[in-house]
């Protein structure tokens, strides 16, 4: 299992100030994904053109002939197996590997550095990705260890997983942060690559079991920001036996573009129309949730 980022002093990943661990691997392919380096479970090579001096050490090092120098910098061919040999040899760190394997001891050592700030701020540790439920055994191992250390545990998830997986993780999770991307399953499939039924089923399940949870909605003009979808989200959440403690509206931005470039992959290859809703519309969506009794805010 690989972790591709560790964010310290995170203030938007759950209550208080947190350490966020980003796990690699995700079954979804959201067109707007902010962390494309978290999609694949394996390690991946990333390339930063502005750091590259064109020495071609990487091209010569690669045993697979997986790289070529072009006028637009180093390009990867289909032969690259992401073995990382070129990364080791690059003199300018223009190449890096996304994803590192950590022992539990290493992870806890990193987390413990911030114990004081986590405890005094009411924070803790957040597991996100990628999709952390893709590796439930590893996830539970980390959650159990955090539990033994009395650290608050948030799992930031799509809940796109089997019921058995969610049930396995649930007793070790203090708070779920769950994305809701679209209420229409066909459109959910179009924009994320998977249907929404398992997600809605699992949200209902954690609500029935009395888990604490927040809902997060990426608000994207052209995708899911229309009033009908927002009203359907509200209707779904209102029917649940327990309510989310918070609904976070997360307006669209395209920060995934730069990371796709570094990975050598395409952002929004089908050129689907997506944009940030106006401030008035964001406020209107927040008001819709608030007027239905939900604690709702932009961001978080
Ligand atoms: S990661 Fe490995 S296979 Fe891919 S380009 Fe580098 S050396 Fe070649
Ligand atoms: S080894 Fe590094 S600096 Fe040299 S060409 Fe490859 S990526 Fe660029």
Domain CATH code at residue 52: 3.30.70.20
How many Cβ atoms sit within 10 Å of the Cβ of residue 193?
14
Distance 30 CA to ligand 1 centre (A): 27
Sign of the CA dihedral running 101, 104, 109, 114: positive
- Residue 240, domain CATH: 3.20.20.70
Does one domain contain both 69 and 167? no
Choose which residue among 48, 49, 53, 77 to substitute to test ligand 2 binding: the one with the highest number of ligand atoms within 8 A of its C-beta. 53
Question: Any idea what DSSP says for residue 30?
Answer: -
Rounded to an integer, what distance in angstroms lies between the CA atom of residue 287 and that of residue 91? 53
Does one domain contain both 60 and 153? no
Whole domain around residue 50: which residue ranges? 44-97
Q: Which of 98, 168, 91, 81 has the alpha carbon at shortest distance from 133?
A: 168
Atom 2 (ligand 2) nearest CA: 90
Which ligand has its closest atom nearest to the C-alpha of 50?
2
Does one domain contain both 146 and 84? no
Does one domain contain both 123 and 211? yes
Does one domain contain both 28 and 121? yes
Question: Any idea what DSSP says for residue 221?
Answer: B
Does one domain contain both 84 and 12? no
Total of domains in the chain: 2
Does one domain contain both 134 and 201? yes
222 within 8 A of 190, measured Cβ to Cβ:
no
Q: Pairing mode, if any, of strands 175-179 and 153-157?
A: parallel
Position in ligand 2 atom list of the atom nearest CA 86: 1
Choosing from 70, 97, 124, the residue where a domain stops is 97
Q: pTM for the full model?
A: 0.92
Choosing from 64, 97, 130, the residue where a domain stops is 97
In order of 91, 118, 240, 244, 247, the CA distances from 211 in angstroms are: 49, 22, 12, 9, 15
Does one domain contain both 201 and 189? yes
List the structure tokens of 21.
């661990």
pLDDT tens for each residue of the chain, 300 residues long: 899 999 999 999 999 999 999 999 999 999 999 999 999 999 999 999 999 999 999 999 999 999 999 998 999 888 988 888 999 999 999 999 999 999 999 999 999 999 999 999 999 999 999 999 999 999 999 999 999 999 999 999 999 999 999 999 999 999 999 999 999 999 999 999 999 999 999 999 999 999 999 999 999 999 999 999 999 999 999 999 999 999 999 999 998 999 998 888 889 988 999 999 999 999 999 999 999 999 999 998
Residue 50 burial (10 A CB sphere; 0-12, 13-18, 19+): exposed
Does one domain contain both 85 and 212? no
Does one domain contain both 196 and 274? yes
Does one domain contain both 61 and 154? no
218 within 8 A of 250, measured Cβ to Cβ:
yes
Does one domain contain both 158 and 184? yes
Position in ligand 1 atom list of the atom nearest CA 84: 1
Q: Which of 75, 25, 29 has the alpha carbon at shortest distance from 188?
A: 29
Rounded to an integer, what distance in angstroms lies between the CA atom of residue 246 and that of residue 196? 21
């Amino acid at each position: 299992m690989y972790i591709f980022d560790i964010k310290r002093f995170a203030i938007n990943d759950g209550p208080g100030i947190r350490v966020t661990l980003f796990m690699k691997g995700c079954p979804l392919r959201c067109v707007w994904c902010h962390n494309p380096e978290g999609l694949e479970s394996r390690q991946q090579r990333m390339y930063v053109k502005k750091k590259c001096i064109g020495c071609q050490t990487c091209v010569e090092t690669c045993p697979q002939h997986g790289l070529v120098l072009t006028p637009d910098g180093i390009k990867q061919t289909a032969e690259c197996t992401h073995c990382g040999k070129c990364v080791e040899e690059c003199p300018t760190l223009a190449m890096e590997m996304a994803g590192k394997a950590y022992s539990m001891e290493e992870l806890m050592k990193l987390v413990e550095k911030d114990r004081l700030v986590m405890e005094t701020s009411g924070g803790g540790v957040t597991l996100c990705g990628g999709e952390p439920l893709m590796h439930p055994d590893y996830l539970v191992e980390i959650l159990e260890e955090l539990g033994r250390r009395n650290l608050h545990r948030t799992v930031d998830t799509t809940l796109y997983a089997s019921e058995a997986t969610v049930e396995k993780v649930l007793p070790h999770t203090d708070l779920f942060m769950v994305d809701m991307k679209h209420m229409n399953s066909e459109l959910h499939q179009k924009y994320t690559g998977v249907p929404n039924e398992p997600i809605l089923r699992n949200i209902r399940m954690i609500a029935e079991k009395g888990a604490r949870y927040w809902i997060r909605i990426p608000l994207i003009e052209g995708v899911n920001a229309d009033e009908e979808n927002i009203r359907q989200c509200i209707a779904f959440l209102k029917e649940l036996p327990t309510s989310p403690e918070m609904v976070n509206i997360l307006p669209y931005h395209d920060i995934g573009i730069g990371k796709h470039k570094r990975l050598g992959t395409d952002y929004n290859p089908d050129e689907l129309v997506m944009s940030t809703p106006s401030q008035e519309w964001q406020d209107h969506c927040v008001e819709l949730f608030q007027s239905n009794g939900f604690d709702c805010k932009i961001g978080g």
